[in-house]
């Protein structure tokens, strides 16, 4: 810095003392505005002025994690905590990094430190409850959610989390009733909490209070006639004609809003196994992993499939309609390329491009499968494999149905017919449980099919 060298030393010193606070303020504003590049530059400027400035270390640590450099983030926050060991927010944020990196025990210790410094830190209390739930210490988790609500009866997140807890672990209708009450309360204290409203509708339907569920969506639509979520959910509850596929706006709205908590919700729902079950089934038909395949993760979400198929891939591409989910996948890493795009259009635009297309828990947002499976066939090279999961519709004569969760269920015979008519062979469908919902196992199909070599196809 040329300016500094021309100033007398004591002036330079005074200037740096005065300036660091202003630069830190600018850094925080840039960080809040999601301008991470500027924020990082400014935090580092503060640290040039004051090497051990704890706030700059702490928030730079948070930023590094947001950019996928979690180890660096942990180190920076630990350094900040050596300087200011009783900083509850820093302990809480360090816990969040551990939580998001799948280290719930370390996260728990951090949240407990935060609460030791500030017993009424609601955020840390809610996070503690979540990581106890993740570790399946359900009694302790229930107590921790209860403590949060006792501390902060107007905390919408607390009511929402308690509602999810009761629904995820429901052992009786009474738990579902209590869960619906929590969602209602979350929405009452914060009318912007639309995820609470959606959760309320789904729970009322699970309680067989169908009219009330429809009314929740009708009221929501009356307030927000352009919102695709209540429109889709009303159809899912039989209150309007079902679309043949969840429309793009609904998927975007749902998953963009969900991206931050998606992994946390899945972590808590330990029975979500679609990526693992699909990868295991593919392992039976693919040659041993030798890093030679061009692979598409279709509907990649936050990227849970990437580590499971990476060893097979020369090139691993993830595609998803939700920019929020793709951003999370980018942070998780493992892909050579990620794209925000609608799946059928993406497949249609990439003929003969892939040796493997896999899609975990994504075609459940498609009703009729003809177009997307034809596009997948065209995007595969001869001998390439397609693997996907669906929710299973057993019995009845219909091809598929939309369910009150907003997803579709498909009949096995329909899936077999569409795959055969689109030119696939060697179709293998096995039943499995892919997740639990409202205390019940959700039955699914794990489907594999191969595009035949050209000689066989003709």
Ligand X SMILES: C[S@@+](CC[C@H](N)C(=O)[O-])C[C@H]1O[C@@H](n2cnc3c(N)ncnc32)[C@H](O)[C@@H]1O
Of all helices (H) and strands (E), which one includes residue 121? none
**Contact predicate 430/446, CB 8 Å:** yes
In terms of CB distance, is 150 or 441 closer to ligand X?
Answer: 441
Q: How far apart are CA 251 and CA 365, in angstroms?
A: 8
Distance CA 324, CA 130 (A): 22
Which region, judged by CB under 6 A, interacts with ligand X, from 56-64, 225-233, 294-302, 309-317?
294-302
Q: Shortest gap between Cβ of 278 and ligand X (angstroms)?
A: 8
DSSP letter, residue 135: T
Assess 321 for contact with ligand X (CB under 6 A).
yes
Q: Does 295 interact with ligand X (rule: CB under 6 A)? A: no
Per CB under 6 A, does 305 bind ligand X? yes
- Asked if 275 interacts with ligand X (CB under 6 A), we say yes
By the rule CB under 6 A, 322 interacts with ligand X: yes
Alpha carbon distance 354, 315 (integer Å) = 9
- How far is it, in rounded angstroms, from Cα 392 to Cα 411? 6
Instruction: Establish if 365 lies at the interface with ligand X (CB under 6 A).
Output: yes
Q: Please state, in angstroms and rounded to a whole number, the distance separating the CA atoms of residues 447 and 153.
A: 46
Nearest to ligand X of 55, 297 (CB atom): 297
Task: Give the nearest distance from C-beta 220 to ligand X in angstroms.
Answer: 21
Q: Tell whether residue 375 is a contact of ligand X (CB under 6 A).
A: no
98 to 89, 92, 135, 301: CA distances (angstroms): 14, 10, 13, 21
Is-contact 369 416, C-beta < 8 A? no
Nearer to ligand X (CB atom), residue 108 or residue 437? 437
Joined together, the tokens standing for residue 34 give 């999601």
Contact between 343 and ligand X per CB under 6 A: yes
Pairing assessment for the beta strands 425-437 and 354-359 based on DSSP bridges: unpaired
Show the CA angle centred on residue 327, arms to residues 322 and 56, nearest 5°. Answer: 145
304 is a site residue for ligand X (CB under 6 A): yes
Report in angstroms how near the CB of residue 125 gets to ligand X at its nearest: 28
Judged by beta carbon, residue 214 or residue 232, the one nearer ligand X is 232
For the CB of residue 356, give the shortest distance to ligand X in the complex, in Å: 14
Helices and strands in the chain: count of H runs, count of E runs: 22, 9
Of 94 and 298, the one with the shorter C-beta distance to ligand X is 298
Name the residue whose CB lies closest to ligand X. Answer: 301
Burial of 436 per CB tally in 10 Å (0-12, 13-18, 19+): middle
Selected binder of ligand X within 158, 301, 387, 444 (CB under 6 A): 301
Structural contact between residues 328 and 70, judged by C-beta atoms closer than 8 angstroms: no
Site for ligand X contains 424 (CB under 6 A): no
Q: Residue 80 or residue 308: which is nearer to ligand X going by CB? A: 308
| Residue placing its CB nearer to ligand X in the complex, 19 or 339 | 339
| Continuous H helices in 302-431 | 306-309, 323-332, 343-348, 370-379, 412-421
Q: Which stretch binds ligand X (CB under 6 A): 27-35, 171-179, 222-230, 317-325?
A: 317-325
Cβ closer to ligand X: 42 or 296? 296
**274 near ligand X (CB under 6 A):** yes
Interaction mask 226-265, ligand X, x per CB under 6 A: -------------------------x---x----------
Per the structure block, which two tokens stand in for 445? 């199909």
Applying CB under 6 A, does 361 fall inside the site for ligand X? Answer: yes
* Cβ neighbours of residue 3 closer than 8 Å, sequence gap 6 or more: none
Minimum distance, C-beta of residue 3 to ligand X, in the bound complex (Å): 49
Interface with ligand X (CB under 6 A):
251, 255, 274-275, 299-301, 304-305, 320-322, 325, 342-343, 360-362, 365
């Amino acid at each position: 810095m040329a300016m500094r060298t021309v100033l007398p030393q004591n002036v330079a010193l005074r200037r740096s003392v005065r300036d660091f606070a202003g630069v830190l303020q600018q850094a925080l504003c840039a960080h809040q505005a999601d301008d991470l590049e500027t924020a990082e530059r400014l935090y580092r400027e503060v640290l040039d002025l004051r090497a051990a400035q704890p706030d700059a270390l702490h928030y730079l640590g948070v930023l590094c994690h947001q950019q996928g450099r979690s180890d660096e983030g942990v180190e920076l926050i630990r350094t900040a905590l050596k300087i200011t060991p009783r900083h509850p927010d820093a302990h809480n944020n360090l816990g969040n990094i551990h939580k998001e990196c799948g280290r719930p025990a370390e996260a728990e210790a951090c949240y407990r430190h935060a609460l030791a410094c500030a017993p009424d830190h609601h955020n840390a209390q809610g996070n503690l409850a979540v990581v106890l739930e993740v570790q399946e210490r359900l009694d302790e988790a229930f107590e921790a959610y209860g403590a949060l609500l006792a501390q902060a009866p107007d905390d919408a997140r607390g009511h929402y989390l308690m509602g999810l807890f009761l629904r995820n672990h429901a052992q009786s209708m009474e738990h579902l009733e209590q869960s619906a009450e929590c969602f209602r309360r979350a929405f009452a204290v914060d009318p912007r909490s639309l995820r609470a409203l959606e959760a309320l509708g789904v729970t009322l339907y699970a309680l067989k209070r169908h009219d009330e569920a429809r009314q929740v969506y009708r009221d929501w639509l009356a307030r927000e006639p352009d919102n695709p979520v209540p429109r889709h959910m009303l159809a899912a509850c039989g209150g309007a004609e079902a679309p043949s596929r969840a429309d793009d706006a609904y998927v975007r709205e749902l998953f963009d809003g969900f991206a931050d908590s998606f992994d946390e919700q899945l972590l808590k729902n330990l029975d979500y196994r679609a990526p693992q079950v699909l990868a295991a089934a593919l392992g039976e038909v693919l040659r041993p992993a030798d890093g030679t395949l061009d692979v598409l993760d279709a509907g990649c979400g936050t990227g849970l499939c990437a580590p499971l198929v990476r060893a097979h891939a020369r090139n691993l591409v993830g595609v998803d309609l939700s920019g929020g989910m793709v951003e999370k996948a980018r942070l998780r890493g493992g892909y050579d390329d990620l794209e925000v795009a609608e799946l059928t259009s993406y497949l249609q635009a990439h003929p003969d491009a892939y040796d493997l297309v896999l899609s975990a828990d994504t075609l459940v947002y498609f009703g009729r499968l003809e177009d997307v499976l034809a596009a997948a066939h065209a995007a595969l090279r001869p001998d390439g494999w397609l693997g996907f999961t669906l929710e299973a519709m057993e019995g009845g004569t219909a091809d598929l149905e939309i369910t009150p969760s907003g997803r579709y269920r498909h009949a096995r015979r329909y899936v077999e017919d569409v795959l055969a008519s689109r030119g696939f062979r060697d179709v293998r469908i096995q039943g499995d449980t892919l997740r639990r919902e409202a205390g019940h196992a959700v039955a699914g199909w794990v489907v594999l099919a191969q595009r035949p070599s050209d000689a066989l196809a003709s």
